Amino acid sequence: MADTRAIAPGDRPRIRHNDYSPLIPPPLGEWTPALTVSVVIPAYGHQDRLDLTLASLAAQTYPAELMEVIVVDDGSRPALRLPAIRPPGTRLMTAPDDGWGASHALNTGAGAASGDVVQRLDADMVICREHIEALMRWHHLTDQVVTIGGKVFAEEPPLTPERVRDAVAAGELDALFDMSRAVPSSTEATIRRLDGLRASKNPYHVCTGPTVSFRRELFHRVGGFDPEVRRGQDTEFAYRLAMSGAVFVPDLDARAVHLGLPAQRVDGDAIVRVVTPYLAHRVPLRRDLRKEPGRNWLVPYVEIVLDAAGATEPEARAAVTAALTGTVPDVRVTLVAPWPDDSRHPVLGDPANELRLIQSNFRHDPAVHLALAPTPDPSPIPFRYTGPIDIPLSPRTLQSMIKLMTEERAGLLITTHPDGRPSRLERTDAINRARLLATPTDPIDEVITQTHGVLHPPATRFWPTPTPTPPTDPTPPKNPSRRFRLPLRGR
C-alpha cells in the first residue's frame, strides 16, 4: 500500500537537532486520523500475557478500520493462538524457520504490514486506550519522526482479557495494577530530564523498543532490524534511524504497563555483557565500548574519502598511511578513481600505470575500499571526511575535528587550505536530514546550517605548521686546530 499522506520535502519542518517544538500535535480526541497503522507484536510463549496485550488493543480510540495487528509467533511451543478478545484486524503469523529472535520476528511482521506506520509493541504490555492515537498524531504532522511511548513496570495481578478490555475502554488502566508499587522506567526519567528529548544529543539511546512507531518506508530504508543482534536490537535499530536523519518524539500520554519487573533488575550485569559485543561493532558512537587497541570493527567511526585520480602511488600510500595511523583508530579509507580493468596492457609505459600501482597496493587491504564513486549515504558510519589526497591528515586531525563538531553540535565542518582547496567532515545524520528536507533548488549546506550548524575553522587548527629547523652556520672557525689554554703560572 502506498503512503496515503506522502509529504513533499518543502513541507517538512526544518527541525534543529531534536527540538521538535515546531510540531504542534492536536489534542487527543479532537482530530481526524487518516494514516493506517500496522501494530507488529513479536511473541514467544506467554499466551496469557499476549491475551492481555490484545485485549488492551481492542479498546483503542484510534479507528479500528485504520489499524491492523500482526502477531508473529517466534517458534512458541505450544504454538500461540488468537484469543476471542482482539482488534478486528488481527492476524497471526509464524516466523519462518530460517532464523529466530525478536529481530527476525519483527522483520517478518513489518514485511507483511500494509500500514503507513509500523507500531512495534511487546507481547507483555497493557496500553492505555489513547496509546496508539497519541503516537500516531505525530506521524500526521511529518514523516520524519520516530515516536516513543511511556511505560512503567508492575507486578502482574490475576487479570482476564475481559477485565482489561473494559478497564482500558473506560480509561481506568491504573485500576488494573497496584500503581503505588510500580517501577518507573529509567527512559521516562531521561525524557523528562532532557526536556522531552528536545535537548538530547543522542536521543536514540532511549528508544528501547517495547512501544515505538515509525513510517513503514523508513523501516525498509534503513534495512529493518539486524537479525544477528539477539539483545539490544532496539538500540541498534534506533541508531540507524538516527543516522537516517529521523527526529525522536516521546509522548508520555501514550501510557503503558509492562507486565513484570524490568529484566535489568533481575541480572543487570549479565544483560550488559550480552548486549555489549553487538553494540560495540554496530554503534560507533559508543566510544566507551571500543577501548581495545588494534581491533577491527564492523562499522567504522569515520569514512575517509580520497580522490585518487591523478595521484601518484607515493602520494596515495602517504595519505592512506596517515589516515590509518592517526589517533582515531577505527576508520575506513575509500579511494575513488576510474580504476582500470585487468585487460591486456603494457606492463611498462601504461598511461594508467599510477592507478594500477595504487590498485595493486590496496586491493587486498581490508581497511581500504576502492570505488568508482563515493556511496551516496555512508550510513551507518557516523562521520565522513573528504579532502585532497596530497594533503595527508595529521595524527590528531580527525580527533580534533570531531571534538569541535561534537562540542558545537554542528553537522558539517569545512576548512580551507592555503591553496584554496577544502576539506569537509560531515555528520551522516545531518546530511541525511538535509537531504530529506531540501528541495531541488536548496543547497544542502544551507539546509544543514539551519538544522545543525556549519563550522568554518582555519586549516591550521587541524594541520599544525611544522616548526622550522634553525639553520646551521656553514662558516668554519678561523683556526680550527687552535685550542683555548689557561696561562701557565710563572710566565
CA 387 to chain centre: 24
**Residue 345 placed within a domain:** yes
Q: State how far the Cα of 476 lies from the Cα of 179, in Å rounded to an integer.
A: 93
Angle at alpha carbon of residue 327, lines to 321 and 328, rounded to 5°: 85
Q: State how far the Cα of 133 lies from the Cα of 116, in Å rounded to an integer.
A: 14
Last residue of a domain, one of 250, 283, 316: 283
- Rg, the chain, Cα only: 29
What single DSSP character describes residue 459?
A: G
User: CATH no. for residue 364?
Assistant: 3.90.550.10
Question: What nine digits make up the cell of 131?
Answer: 496509546
Question: Does 67 share its domain with 210?
Answer: yes
Total number of domains in the chain = 2
**Residue 144 placed within a domain:** yes
Last residue of a domain, one of 234, 250, 283: 283
Question: Does 263 share its domain with 311?
Answer: no
What pairing do the DSSP bridges indicate for beta strands 211-215 and 145-149?
antiparallel
Question: What nine digits make up the cell of 322?
Answer: 596517515
Question: Does 271 share its domain with 331?
Answer: no
- Nearest alpha carbon to residue 337 among 315, 361, 359, 353: 359
- Nearest alpha carbon to residue 44 among 87, 84, 80, 92: 80
CA atoms within 13 A on the CB side of 480: 3
In this prediction, residue 294 carries a pLDDT of 87
**Residue 266 placed within a domain:** yes
Q: State how far the Cα of 370 lies from the Cα of 361, in Å rounded to an integer.
A: 11
C-alpha distances out from residue 72 to 80, 82, 111, 112, 123, Å? 9, 11, 11, 10, 10
Q: Which domain holds residue 182?
A: 9-283
Question: Does 308 share its domain with 442?
Answer: yes
Q: Can you point out the beta strands (E) in 63-171?
A: 67-73, 90-94, 117-121, 125-127, 145-149, 152-154
For the chain (491 residues), the mean pLDDT of every run of 10, in chain order, is: 57 94 96 98 97 98 98 96 97 95 96 98 97 98 96 94 98 95 90 95 89 97 94 94 98 96 66 88 95 92 97 97 96 97 82 92 96 96 98 98 98 97 98 95 96 97 76 59 45 41
Residue 149 is inside which H or E element, if any?
strand 145-149
In this prediction, residue 2 carries a pLDDT of 38
In this prediction, residue 264 carries a pLDDT of 53
**Residue 233 placed within a domain:** yes
Question: Does 172 share its domain with 141?
Answer: yes
Question: Does 349 share its domain with 404?
Answer: yes
Question: Does 278 share its domain with 306?
Answer: no
**Residue 484 placed within a domain:** no
Question: Does 222 share its domain with 268?
Answer: yes
In this prediction, residue 348 carries a pLDDT of 80
**Residue 295 placed within a domain:** no
Q: State how far the Cα of 137 lies from the Cα of 141, in Å rounded to an integer.
A: 7
Question: Does 317 share its domain with 251?
Answer: no
Cβ atoms of 144 and 12 closer than 8 Å = yes
Question: Does 255 share its domain with 326?
Answer: no
In this structure, the number of other CB atoms found within 10 A of the CB of residue 6 comes to 10
Q: State how far the Cα of 103 lies from the Cα of 234, in Å rounded to an integer.
A: 8
In this prediction, residue 45 carries a pLDDT of 94
In this prediction, residue 344 carries a pLDDT of 84
Question: What nine digits make up the cell of 69?
Answer: 495487528
**Residue 346 placed within a domain:** yes
Question: Does 205 share its domain with 266?
Answer: yes
Cβ atoms of 48 and 126 closer than 8 Å = no
In this structure, the number of other CB atoms found within 10 A of the CB of residue 195 comes to 12
Q: State how far the Cα of 57 lies from the Cα of 272, in Å rounded to an integer.
A: 32
Alpha helices, H only, 342-396 = 353-362
In this structure, the number of other CB atoms found within 10 A of the CB of residue 410 comes to 18
Question: Does 262 share its domain with 347?
Answer: no
**Residue 52 placed within a domain:** yes
Burial classification of residue 245, based on how many CB atoms lie within 10 Å of its CB (0-12 exposed, 13-18 middle, 19 or more buried): buried
Last residue of a domain, one of 256, 283, 310: 283
Instruction: Name the CA dihedral angle for 248, 252, 253, 257, rounded to a multiple of 10 degrees.
Output: 120
